[in-house]
Amino acid sequence: MTAPVSAPPLPVGAIAITALGMTTSGGLDVASACASARAGATHWTQLDVEEPDLDTLESVPLKGHAVRGLTDGFEGIGRLLRLGDAALSDLMTSAKLEPAHHARTGFHLCLPGHFHATWLLQLELLGQGPAPMDVARAEFARHFEEQRQWRDKLETSLVPSLLSMQDLSIPPALRSCFHGGPAIFAQAVEQAIQRLRLRELDRCIVGGIDTCVHGDALTTLHTLGLLRTEEQPSGFFPGEASAFVLLERADALRARSAPAEATVTAVATRPAAHDRAADKPEHGVALSAAVEACLGDPRRKPNLVVVNLNGDEFRAREFGMALVRMREAGLPAELRYWYPPEPFGELGAATGAVSACLAVRAFTRSYAESDQALILLMGDDAARGALLLDDIPTQSRSTR
């Protein structure tokens, strides 16, 4: 074992990642989940929805990536709470936050949005023939009110319960929820960094929780034809996960003698011209623009890209077109790519935090083979995001 080497002081204004927490089908903590992904292990679960097998004329259950044991028997807020508590507990184990730190700590949580449910309603109304405008308005008004009530319930029930279970007394004014798809994590990080630099906070826990393997979410994705089945090779396997990172301003982490595991060098979000419900091809303009914003400095040359390609043809086509544009933004031609949905399934709002944990653990355990990692986030909604993480090569490495 090599002797620890002290890290040089971080530059003024640097935003460090000082702790991680993650729970996925591959493991209940960040160390085992990332080790599972690195080993290429896949943990399958039979889901509640069945599909006919045309060869045997029998029904077979769909496959997905559920966190077996932890979420069995739980649904709704209870299931999200189980996932979130396990990941947040994992983060708190390494964060070493004292109660005195809570008053200056923020909490940004990414939660599922309603894009797929809204898209399905739109298709159902169209499938019934041209509906009178007042009928369509009434249906959408009812739908959006239900979604608003669900978001309010998550923010007023899930978040306080999650913090209470970890004895985190974070003031309500320092909490924010972000509802959407994979790219919402970039927005949450962007706002956290802004608050850190304005000194509203000293540190901020940023993470996401989502499940696509159960209940209405699974039924909706299946009805939309987005899942991979025996008869449909283009599509994704659903998953569920929760992950968190602790962002901390350089002077704040020095004040409590906390080690940094990586830094967030750049983050950018861009809206696409339209979402998937528009039934038009997305040419990768928004994603490549986010990448260009992150790689504006010529010294930024990541050799590792973590991108949430999940087997879906629509997403793969967009990424292919964006890749051509990204070459012009300075992205090297020879790159290594990691795909979080491959071991864990489609993770929705948890995708960004899981991707960040995978990259930082690779830095920490010295198998990234790059001192920078570019995280790309795409979804079926119009949001696109990118983050650039930097390794801290001379720091004392964690043994977690």
Residue ending a domain, choose from 255, 273, 293: 255
Would the pLDDT of 103 be above 70? yes
Is position 4 within any domain? no
Q: How many CB atoms lie within 10 A of CB 328?
A: 9
pLDDT at 130 over 90: no
Q: End of a domain among 198, 229, 255?
A: 255
The last residue of one of the domains, among 228, 255, 282, is 255
Could you give the percent of the chain with pLDDT greater than 70? 94
Kindly state whether residue 397 falls inside one of the protein's structural domains: no
**pLDDT tens for each residue of 337-349:** 999 999 999 999 9
Whether 355 and 280 map to the same domain: the answer is yes
Residue 7 lies in a domain: no
Q: pLDDT tens-digit profile of 7-63?
A: 567 887 899 999 999 999 999 999 999 999 999 999 999 998 888 766 666 788 999
Within-domain flag for 226:
yes
pLDDT surpassing 60 at residue 243: yes
User: Taking the CA of residue 137 as centre, how many other CA atoms within 13 Å lie in the half-sphere pointing to its CB?
Assistant: 3
Contacts of 69 (CB under 8 A, 6+ apart): none
Specify the higher pLDDT residue, 391 or 55: 391
| pLDDT value for 78 | 96
Position 399 in a domain: no
Mean pLDDT across the stretch 201-225?
Answer: 96
- The first and second tokens of residue 82, run together, are 């189980």
C-alpha closest to that of 185 among 370, 345, 347, 25: 347
| pLDDT tens figures, 349-381 | 999 999 999 999 999 999 999 999 999 999 999
Q: How many CB atoms lie within 10 A of CB 291?
A: 28
- Do 285 and 232 share a structural domain? no
Contacts of 134 by beta carbon, 8 Å cutoff, 6+ apart: none
Chain mean pLDDT for the chain:
91
Could you give the angle at which helices 115-127 and 215-223 cross, rounded to 10 degrees? Answer: 50
Give the other-Cβ count within 10 Å of 175's Cβ: 16
Give the model's pLDDT for residue 67. Answer: 97
Region 271-275: mean pLDDT is 93
Give me the half-sphere count of Cα atoms (radius 13 Å) on the Cβ side of residue 363: 29
Residue 51 and residue 105 in one domain: yes
- State whether 28 and 79 are in the same domain: yes
CA 216 vs. chain centroid, Å, equals 20
Kindly state the percentage of the chain with pLDDT values over 90.
Answer: 78
Same-domain status, 180 and 204 = yes
pLDDT digits (tens, 9 = 90+) for 140-152: 999 999 999 999 9
How much is the pLDDT for 126? 80
Same domain, 297 and 168: no
Domain presence at residue 333 = yes
What pLDDT is attached to residue 2?
43
How far, in Å, CA of 227 to CA of 49, rounded?
Answer: 11
Domain membership flag for residue 327: yes
Please indicate, yes or no, whether residues 232 and 331 belong to a single structural domain of this protein.
no
CB burial of 71-103 (b: ≥16 within 10 Å; e: otherwise) equals beebeeeebbbbbbbbbbbbbbebbebeeebbe
Q: How far are the Cα atoms of 31, 148, 149, 252, 357 from residue 17, in angstroms, in the given order?
A: 16, 32, 34, 12, 10
Report yes or no: 261 and 373 within 8 Å, Cβ to Cβ.
no
Q: Distance between CA 314 and CA 308 in Å, rounded? A: 12
Strand (E) or helix (H) holding 19 = strand 15-23
pLDDT, one tens digit per residue, over 70-83 is 999 999 999 999 99
- Quick check: 20 and 360 in contact, CB under 8 A? yes
Tell me what pLDDT residue 74 has: 95
The reported pLDDT for the residue numbered 189 is 98
Amino acid 327: pLDDT = 81
Identify the domain containing residue 302 by its residue range: 265-391
Whether 46 and 169 map to the same domain: the answer is yes
- pLDDT band for 298, please (50, 70, 90 cuts): confident
CATH of the domain at 245: 3.40.47.10
Domain co-membership, 75 together with 223: yes
> How many domains in the chain?
2
At residue 252, the pLDDT reads 92
Q: Are residues 364 and 240 in the same domain?
A: no
Residue 4 has pLDDT above 50, yes or no: no
Question: Which residues in 178-192 are b (16+ Cβ under 10 Å) and which e?
Answer: bbbbbbbbbbbbbbb
Query: If pLDDT is split at 50, 70 and 90, which confidence band does 131 have?
Result: low
Which letter does DSSP use for residue 295 in this model? T
d(CA 73, CA 300) in angstroms, rounded, equals 46
Which H or E element spans position 322?
helix 313-328
CA distance 267 to 388: 6
Q: Is position 9 within any domain?
A: no
Verify that 298 and 208 share a domain, yes or no: no
* pLDDT above 60 (res 395): no
Whether 155 and 237 have beta carbons less than 8 Å apart is answered as no
Indicate the pTM of the whole model.
0.94
In this predicted structure, the answer to whether residue 159 has a pLDDT above a threshold of 50 is: yes
**204 vs 125, residue with greater confidence:** 204
Same domain, 163 and 70: yes
